[in-house]
Amino acid sequence: MYEFLTSLAIDFANLLDVGDDHNVLINVGQDPHRQSFKAHSVVLRARSPYFKTALSNDWIRKEGSMTLLIASDELLLSELQEYIQEYLLTNKSNWLHQNFALVHQTVFQLDSSKDLQEFFRPFKKILPKELYEDLKRYHFQAGMQLKPEYLQAPRYKGIKSTIIEKPHSALIAYWIDGGDNTSLPSYPGELQYEFKLLVRGSRDGFSAATFHDRCDNQGPTITLLKVNNSKHVIGGYNPLSWGSTNTWRYTRDSFICQFNIDYKKKMVAKLGRVIPACSQYAISDSQYNGPCFGDGDLWITDDFNLAGNCSCNKESYEQSVGDMFHRESWDSWNGKNGTFAVDDYEVFQVVKLRLSDQ
């Protein structure tokens, strides 16, 4: 029996190679790269559910005495499909990335391409959930139109600051999203946040009272401090609202940061997230002080532009943000080391953009 089946398979292979008495012509691709393959409908219908339907009277169209079937990606047989998927994933991963749009659109229309579908599925992590679901429906449902906001070119929303530049705001947004890289992006791309100015010292004053009047109950904020007589900026992100509760505030999502703004030199940035065991001291909320982070890590008391009223001493956060311009020392509380004044300061409300706002 084995010899018979082997011989039969060889005969079928010869029949396909020669193409005698074929009654199906399969054109693959488009001019000038179109190729034609001769086949037999009885073999195709027996081996492929696709061709069983495609070669029915409802699908085919006659051209002379021949059956012309224009097919492309869907003509793969099940066994061949598995081998092709394995080959592409193992040997052509770079090609898959380079031809992302073409392959992605094709494989999600083929139920048998599960392995390739899984290869592309991780890309959904970089897309908003609503957009990802709408894109799937767009490819699966004929006639569905994408929302107009999806088709608009992204607009870069920076930060209207006199202390930092737009690329710095992209780095801050990256930190807010949980990133730890401290390299300034060469092209910031589209931001997921809008930064709304609440207070600026040079415009509104440097008192704690002014800070609370303009910044309390405004939701998440980023504070930026231009250190007096230096090229350094210190900042802190509060994911909560500032208030005048005279209490410690718990959070694991706050951070403090520093970077130089001397554009003649390579930017040096540092990021310090709150130490988990010290999360209960992440934010100091006092009506008598300005924005204060940790148990001394970044404290802005009152009249921020006067010497000795701002200080940095590492305690509750993983990194110190003052070591670029002073030594860490508890002597700062006596006004010797670790204290500073600011030339200017800004506090921005941080607003997460909806997809339709971008």
Residues 23 and 115 in one domain: no
pLDDT band at 178 (very low <50, low <70, confident <90, very high): confident
What's the pLDDT at 160? 87
> Which of 75, 105, 137 is a domain's end point?
75
Pair 121, 147: CB distance under 8 Å: no
> Which of 119, 151, 183 is a domain's end point?
151
Smallest Cα–Cα separation from 282: which of 236, 243, 244? 236
Which residues span the domain enclosing 222?
Answer: 166-356
Residues 133 and 202 in one domain: no
pLDDT digits (tens, 9 = 90+) for 271-298: 999 999 999 999 999 999 999 999 989 9
Residues 145 and 241 in one domain: no
Contacts 24+ apart (CB under 8 A), 314-318: 314/272, 315/278, 315/281, 316/274, 316/275, 316/278, 316/281, 316/282, 317/255, 317/256, 317/272, 317/273, 317/274, 317/275, 317/278, 317/293, 318/272, 318/273, 318/274, 318/275
Residues 266 and 178 in one domain: yes
The rounded percent of the chain whose pLDDT value lies above 70 is 50
pLDDT digits (tens, 9 = 90+) for 25-69: 776 666 776 777 777 777 767 666 666 666 665 555 444 333 333
Total domains in the chain come to 3
Which residue spans within the chain are E strands per DSSP?
A: 24-28, 35-39, 61-63, 66-70, 193-200, 221-227, 232-238, 247-249, 255-260, 269-273, 283-285, 292-293, 298-300, 310-311, 339-340, 342-352
pLDDT band at 96 (very low <50, low <70, confident <90, very high): low
Residues 65 and 211 in one domain: no
**3-class state of residue 100 by DSSP:** helix
* CATH code, domain carrying 54: 3.30.710.10
CB atoms within 10 A of CB 267: 15
> Which of 104, 121, 151 is a domain's end point?
151
What's the pLDDT at 335? 40
**Cross-strand pairs, 225:** 234, 345
pLDDT band at 77 (very low <50, low <70, confident <90, very high): very low
Pair 228, 239: CB distance under 8 Å: no
Residues 108 and 228 in one domain: no
What's the pLDDT at 167? 77
What's the pLDDT at 143? 62
Residues 144 and 234 in one domain: no
Residues 111 and 183 in one domain: no
pLDDT band at 196 (very low <50, low <70, confident <90, very high): very high
Residues 233 and 210 in one domain: yes
Residues 343 and 208 in one domain: yes
Kindly report whether the global pTM for this prediction surpasses the value 0.95. no
